[in-house]
Amino acid sequence: MKKISHFPYKHVLVLGLAKSGTAAANVLLHNEINVRVNDYNTREDADDVQMLRDKGAEVVVGSHPISVLEEIELIVKNPGIPYDNIIVAEALERNIPIITEVELASLLAKEHRIISITGSNGKTTTTTLVSEMLDHSNQKVKLAGNIGVASIEVAQDLEDDEKLLLELSSFQLLGIQSFKPHVAALLNLYEAHIDYHGSVENYIEAKKNIFRNQTSEDFLVYNIDDETVVAAVQEAKAMLIPFSVSKIQPEGAYVKDKIIYFKEKPVLSLDQVVLVGKHNLENILAAVCVALLSGATIEGIQHVLRTFSGVKHRLQFVEKINDRLFYNDSKATNILATQKALESFTQPIILLAGGLDRGNSFDSLTPFITNVKAMVLFGETANKLEQFAEQVGISQICLVEDVKEAASVAYNISEKGDVILLSPACASWDQYKTFEERGDMFIQAVHILA
């Protein structure tokens, strides 16, 4: 396990366990830091609690007493914990620095090339594409971050010739100090997570942290078709590498005569690309830029684009049953992602949607439901979505308990040639621990139907 260099803190509070908190605490203990852990939801008899105590950590669970801040010089916060949390708010009053484990990971990986990708949508698909492209180019790369593996967990065991590839959320990026990727990508910026950040402006500022510490020796790949992104990257010091699905960009990636180009050199014909959807073309162009800047070969990229059919839970083809096509887009946790999913099909669609109610309206879906013939709704937002469906003239509307029932009901009202699309437009936390759990239940239900 690697050691953290130039780390001035001796007393650190790890706030929140789960994957990232436990991994961060382990690394800090290995570096002989005095570690206190505080988690509200974890039980005293949890395995991680005893394991960390055995290693010398002080662990406080089941409450958030202000006393956990005594002697603390730094907080490593779980990204999901909001800044109005009682401990976080008090720490800010006391001017105690707050970081996420991504910052620790970057300190461990200082001698390695760090690649990082963020955006409101498309992060997972783009990051996975880059990982595959580098892998098929004989480049050693480890994948972590918002994609499901704690950054710190991967960074502590990096080999000398390995790169660290990170998918990063705004929650993670809000807690950095010196984190500096050699190649970064900003895919798009839309209104999201306002309940966490408080405003669109705060959300965008958090996203900008992906490039704030870059220098002229680094690269920032950005979506030149997105006006908000273009405005944001004006502050960047890195070399700007644009991508566009609509305009020729000689300094970056673009499409001309149905051929993907990078810096005026052909990469592959669109006819050979397996991944569908305009939004995925944006992801592909971004991935081509990031991968080539990180050491991938044209041959490696071509192989991936000819074979990669999508990320699990992100517009994932599940099954064809009696000429009905089932797609799992459980990762569509906001309206924009569902818009992009709906744009990907010309066939009649039965849309399965619903989930956590964040107080937003669904009116912005209206221009995208031209092909939607029916909606099957679940979760906290089911009634709100029902009202929306009635307003826009959807004739078939079904309310169900969960995605398992939704799959069955959708099949029963479907006809040959229909697309049955789970694209919730909402987070999963009202009924499921994660969007993955929600998607897995849908996949299982479809396989039972088959």
Least confident of 62-76, 123-137, 188-202, 245-259: 188-202
Is residue 86 a contact partner of residue 75, using CB atoms and an 8 Å limit?
Answer: no
Please choose, from the candidates 426, 429, 414, the residue with its C-alpha nearest in 3D space to the C-alpha of residue 319: 414
**Per-residue model confidence (pLDDT) at position 110:** 82
CB atoms within 10 A of CB 272: 12
The C-alpha atoms of residue 187 and residue 230 are separated, in whole angstroms, by 11
d(CA 352, CA 354): 7
pLDDT of residue 207: 97
**Helix axes 298-307 and 123-135, enclosed angle (nearest 10):** 130
Other Cβ atoms less than 10 A from the Cβ of 393: the count is 8
39: amino acid identity, one letter: D
Q: Please state the φ and ψ torsions of residue 302, each to the nearest 5 degrees.
A: -60, -45
Secondary structure E strands in 250-344: 253-256, 259-262, 265-269, 316-321, 324-328
For 389, the token pair is 């469906």
Distance CA 288, CA 269 (A): 13
Mean pLDDT (whole number) for 357-383 = 95
Tell me: the pLDDT tens digits for 273-307? 988 778 889 999 999 999 999 999 999 999 999 99
Task: Calculate ∠ Cα 376-382-387, nearest 5°.
Answer: 95
Is the pLDDT reported for residue 323 higher than 90?
yes
Give me the chain's average pLDDT, please. Answer: 94
Q: How far is CA 421 from the centre of its chain?
A: 20
**434, two tokens:** 């994660």
Q: pTM for this structure? A: 0.79
From residue 324, give the alpha-carbon distance in Å to each of 291, 342, 349, 438. 36, 16, 10, 21
How many CB atoms neighbour CB 366 within 10 A? 11
Token pair 């010196």 is at which residue? 178
**pLDDT per residue over 100-129, tens digit each?**
999 999 999 987 899 999 999 889 999 999
Q: Which residues pair with 75 in a beta bridge?
A: 13, 98
> How far from chain centre, in Å, is Cα 258?
29
| pLDDT class of 408 with cuts at 50, 70, 90 | very high
Where do the domains of the chain lie, and which CATH numbers do they carry? 11-99 (3.40.50.720), 102-307 (3.40.1190.10), 316-449 (3.90.190.20)
User: φ and ψ at 446, to 5 degrees?
Assistant: -65, -45
pLDDT tens sequence across 48-80: 999 999 999 999 999 999 999 999 999 999 998
| Residues facing residue 115 across a β-bridge | 165, 183
Residue 449: strand, helix, or coil: helix
Report the pLDDT value the prediction gives residue 286, as an integer from 0 to 100: 98
Give yes or no for residue 442 having a pLDDT over 90: yes
Q: Check residue 447 and give its pLDDT.
A: 95
**For the segment 152-184, what is each residue's pLDDT rounded down to a tens digit?**
989 988 998 999 999 999 999 999 999 999 999
SS3 284: helix
pLDDT given for residue 369 in this prediction: 95
- Mean pLDDT of all residues in 306-314: 86
